[in-house]
Chain A
């Protein structure tokens, strides 16, 4: 089968264009429908630094409480996992699976696989399990909802503050930082690794 690494096809209208050579910060749009075709981002080393920072904040966000409440001297707080477990208890239980995936499992897989791929990529090497992880990446992409969870935490604070004293936990601050880092890392198109790593390693001939 002949391949054309110099071409690119728009995912939204199927129009073929030549793959342009773009500098960082530039982007190419499809001539027919205007969708973004390419938007080169950070190089592997910079992405790796951000991904490791994201991994650390992810751990902090999951260990420490997100919200705490005080009522008549009693104190109660919850972590992200706590909110999943609370959903799992009762008639709406199946939705807990979705919540667990969206705010805990998918972000962990994304950050973990990104760190793994990039540790090798910044040394110009192809990581073990490169193919399966890149495939996994493609399926995980729509299901990460950390930014929605952050907004939900803020809404919950406002919802409860009329009735009781609410504390914002370390977990929520970590989530805020994590959302920033995810925009710079996980929300990037990392398919350029196929060109930089897989082709360079002589896989496609």
Chain B
């Protein structure tokens, strides 16, 4: 089966809520079935994606440099230890929990950084009519949608550990500001992914069907 026409080329819009295809005769309309405001493309997709991405990039540095958790146990010389994302990971490695160390490495280091690079690649590709590798880029985009939120792993670990390690004086754990920045990186890059419209990858190119 060869690929057919694209909706925008024939003036059709597909509703993002109920998936009804209708003949809108413009870029914007109201869906006759579900009343959603429907658009041919996500509004200001590229600038919104850039904005969220740049904000995420800014938060990325404090997220990795600042401590995410403070632990204190009886007999600690300097009143406790500050852990960053990286130092928590190294601790697992030294314990011999290589599986968990790799898991956290993927969720907290590999996914966020790849997401940033991949989003830049998608944006650049959507902005210029580069040789068409759009199918690969769509696959990349779908992967970002699928794996992006797993980076929240470290945020949720800090939440659980600090909630349960509460033995006054004996052993204590508290969240630190770094985890806020780390959470912001995850949320902002998720928002960037959601704002990006993969259909733009196919626009400005002659149809191949």
Interface residues of A (CB under 8 A from B): 1-5, 7-9, 11-17, 30-35, 66-69, 71-72, 74, 76-78, 82-87, 89-96, 98-99, 102-103, 131, 134-135, 138, 142-143, 145, 148-149, 151-153, 155-156, 158-160, 162-164, 191, 194, 198-199, 203-204
Complex Cα distance, B170 from A72, in Å, reads: 9
Q: Do the beta carbons of A5 and B20 come within 8 Å of each other?
A: yes
Residues in B119-139 with C-beta less than 8 Å from chain A: 134-135, 138-139
Give 20 A-B contacts (CB < 8 Å), ordered by A residue. A2-B23, A9-B19, A14-B14, A15-B4, A16-B5, A31-B2, A33-B138, A78-B164, A83-B156, A86-B162, A87-B158, A89-B175, A103-B156, A131-B35, A135-B36, A152-B157, A155-B157, A156-B157, A156-B164, A159-B88
Residue contact B22 to A160, C-beta cutoff 8 Å: no
- Given the known interface contacts A68-B164, A76-B166, A158-B97, the answer about A31 and B22 at a Cβ–Cβ threshold of 8 Å is no
Q: How far is the CA of A90 from the CA of B36 in the complex (A)?
A: 40
Check if B112 is an interface residue, CB within 8 A of chain A.
Answer: no
Does residue B52 face the partner (Cβ distance < 8 Å to A)?
A: no
Partner of A67, one of B33, B145, B160, B201: B160
Tell me which residues across on chain A come within 8 A of B21, comparing CB atoms. Answer: 3-5, 7-9, 16
- The CA-CA distance from A30 to B1 in the complex, in Å, is 10
Decide: B152 and A148 in contact? CB cutoff 8 A: yes
User: Residues of B within 8 Å of A, CB-based: how many?
Assistant: 80
Collect the chain B residues with CB atoms within 8 Å of residue A31's CB: 1-4, 209
- Assuming the A-B contacts A1-B23, A14-B6, are A194 and B134 also in contact, with contact meaning beta carbons closer than 8 angstroms in the complex? no
- With a 10 A CB-CB cut-off, give which of B21, B23, B184 has the most chain A CB atoms: B21
